[in-house]
Amino acid sequence: MVFKRKNKTKIAMSLRFYIFAARKSYLLPNKMKKLMICIGMAAALVGCSPKQEEVAEQPQPKEEFKYLVDEFADLRIMRYQIPDWDQLTLQQKSYIYYLGEAAKCGRDILADQNFKYNLVVRKTIEAVLNSYQGDRDCADFQNFVVYAKRVFFSNGIHHHYAEDKFFPEVSEAYFAEVIKGSDASQLPLNEGETVDQFIAFLTPVVFDKELYKMRRSSEDDIIVNSAVNFYEGDIRKADVEAFYDKMREPNDATPISYGLNSKLVKEDGKIYEDVYKVDGLYGEAITAIIGWLQKANEVAENDIQRDYTQKLIDYYTTGDLKTWDEYNVAWVQDSVSHIDFVNGFIEDYNDPMGMKATWEAIVNFKDLEATKRSNTIGENAQWFEDHSPVDPRFKKEKCKGVSAKSITVTTLGGDCFPSPPIGINLPNADWIRKDYGSKSVTITNLMEAYDKAADECPRSALKEFAYSQDEVDLCKKYGSDADVVHTNLHECLGHGSGKLLPGTQPGALKEFSSTLEEARADLFGLYYLADPKMVELGVMPDAEAYKAEYCSYIRNGMMSQLARVELGKDVTESHMQNRKLISEWCYEKGREANVIEKKVENGKTYFIVNDFEALRGLFGELLAEIQRIKSEGDYAAGKAIVEQYAVKVDPELHKEVKERYNALGLKPYGGFINPEIVPVEENGKVVDYKVEYPSDFVAQHMKYGKEYSFLKAKH
């Protein structure tokens, strides 16, 4: 699987913060330094002499770019820059602009996929923010605004990471009051519905703690108990399995991604797919996306881009998953273009069955300098595959088409916005990866933005959760480099390593596939991070650097990521489960040799890596087992290892972590405001595109709601 995120708690860089992104996320400290901007003052001297000397105006220093711009609830909002924009040609800027517009057009799709009434809630919020005539300065209205921001951030009423429903900190009566005090014509009312009737419908959707309480549930029947909008009608898990089992061909060497781009509906006792396509589900938004892709194709860099973009348009038009595979085969072989993009139904993390994909988009161009390291790793893919600690039966005889690069993102959309990955590895289909390779990227300007935002914050999670000053110093010295290389290995090689045995179905691990796939890629990176080959290739600075990542990973997986989980709850998100599984498994298997030591001092718990070499051995052992589980499609073993190590939380440790973290005043999650790419016209002709950096999170989402909303809110 690929867009590593979902954000993924990993203390990075100097480990003073956590970033929520790509393969892992980070917790950002709460308070930022006050920026002191010195403004030069010009003084005009007036003399009595008839000859007056002009005093030159002192130049004003350039205002420092501010990365951290807002915080609320458990969230922080940042901005990112687009370096080297002015080095692009007008044609390249035009191409990026059109692709960026396409990336904004699927916002409604994601909201509706996350929950069937998300658009109703969001458009109600937009109506209130646009037209409410009451007191906007009172505490209740400010709390309503916080709820609005959370809905915008999560693309719905469920937490973007924890996946549980969150609630406005206002009364039901006040909620009704602001709706009644707004322009009824802007509310998403049904025909003939009164405002009072609408409020009666919407109030339990928003406030009832037992109604639609989890976006993706792991309890009992995971379909029935999940609020995601991938299934409609009285559908059970067994129904889903039976429906798609009938469609699969056991010996198909090039299987389509069954169910990827559709909702499964049960109506009058019959089950069918409602496919996402121009004349199907989400057709209005898909048509808008196609319009901008067509404009982009007119100014594409080369025929390779035009060819696979046309295949993507054909796929959007027909919904044919074979066409989707044709697009991916063509797209993955383009390693020469400077500009690239992702646009489609890609990742299945939000589906409890791990089949149906949310819509997402990213537009980017190469970071040429940073790509050198990624290329070095990708060029040695066969060496890493050959020396992997897994059973030779599960290794690829020949690694094909491994394309690795670092990129600068220009626009985020759908499930990548506002909380994006920091690494990508696509496509997801195992047979395409085996026969044609994969594209792996690290997003450098987002990683830089996380770092710069951390520099604006004085408090440190590292000092709180690291056991010793030596550990702090180690992580400050090497944390940044080690973390980036781990991300490169995870994305560039980890996901593309290994192979399925003949006859093993790609979806054999079902609801545990995402967690196990993330664990497999993380373990691949962790194992090789300590290999002397990394220093030999010039990828790691020296033989000690990997230790910073080992310390950070274990500390995070065992303890600090629990700051993100509500007390009394299990760990449910795939990336968090993956890190917990790896850390807990290694802790248990290495306990007798004291590889990882648990210490409690002054009422505070710490986890210390005592034997780095032995820990690497454990990483390799677990990598071999998880690769076996995937290659053989061993559902029972996958289920057992996830349920034993990845889900349940020690309540006392959880409480301690939350208290320590809260005392620091830190926010555990972060996301971004997109830059605005604005056409510059002269005499009615576009002569350039400039980049503006807005700082108002709500304003951007209100703008998107006005300009990029294509689906009707239904209830």
pLDDT at 27: 31
pLDDT at 30: 31
Contact between 255 and 249 under an 8 Å Cβ cutoff? The reply is yes
Q: How crowded is the C-beta side of 211, counted as CA atoms within 13 Å? A: 11
pLDDT at 423: 85
pLDDT at 60: 55
Q: What are 366-403's pLDDT values in tens digits?
A: 999 888 888 898 889 999 999 999 999 999 999 876 77
Give SS3 for 25.
Answer: strand
Ranges of the chain with pLDDT below 70: 1-62, 401
Parallel, antiparallel or unpaired: strands 358-366 and 402-414: antiparallel
**Residue for token pair 């339990």:** 204
pLDDT at 612: 98
Contact between 625 and 586 under an 8 Å Cβ cutoff? The reply is no
Give the number of other CB atoms < 10 A from CB of residue 368. 13
What stretch of H or E contains 476?
A: helix 469-489
Give SS3 for 161.
Answer: coil
Q: Which residues of 526-547 are buried (b: 16+ CB within 10 A; e: fewer)?
A: bbbbbbeebbeeebbeeeebbb
Helices (H), 88-171: 90-104, 107-114, 118-131, 139-154
**Which amino acid is it at 313?**
I
Q: Which two tokens stand for residue 318?
A: 């027909």
Contact between 1 and 347 under an 8 Å Cβ cutoff? The reply is yes
> Angle, nearest 10°, between helix axes 90-104 and 283-298?
180
pLDDT at 220: 84
* Spatial distance between the Cα atoms of 548 and 481, rounded to a whole number of angstroms: 9
Give the number of other CB atoms < 10 A from CB of residue 27. 31
Q: What are 23-67's pLDDT values in tens digits?
A: 333 233 333 333 233 333 233 322 333 333 344 455 555 678 999
Through-space distance between the first and last CA atoms of the chain, rounded to whole angstroms = 33
Parallel, antiparallel or unpaired: strands 358-366 and 339-347: antiparallel
- 322, with CB counted inside 10 A (0-12, 13-18, 19+), is exposed
pLDDT at 319: 98
pLDDT at 166: 97
Parallel, antiparallel or unpaired: strands 262-267 and 231-232: parallel
* Spatial distance between the Cα atoms of 158 and 118, rounded to a whole number of angstroms: 9
**Which amino acid is it at 657?**
V
The Cα diameter of the chain in Å comes to 99
* Spatial distance between the Cα atoms of 639 and 383, rounded to a whole number of angstroms: 31
Give the number of other CB atoms < 10 A from CB of residue 459. 17
pLDDT at 688: 98
> Is the overall model pTM greater than 0.85, yes or no?
no
pLDDT at 62: 64
* Spatial distance between the Cα atoms of 521 and 79, rounded to a whole number of angstroms: 29
Which of 72, 178, 94 has its CA nearest to residue 698?
A: 72
pLDDT at 515: 96
- 572, with CB counted inside 10 A (0-12, 13-18, 19+), is buried
The DSSP secondary-structure symbol of 494 reads I
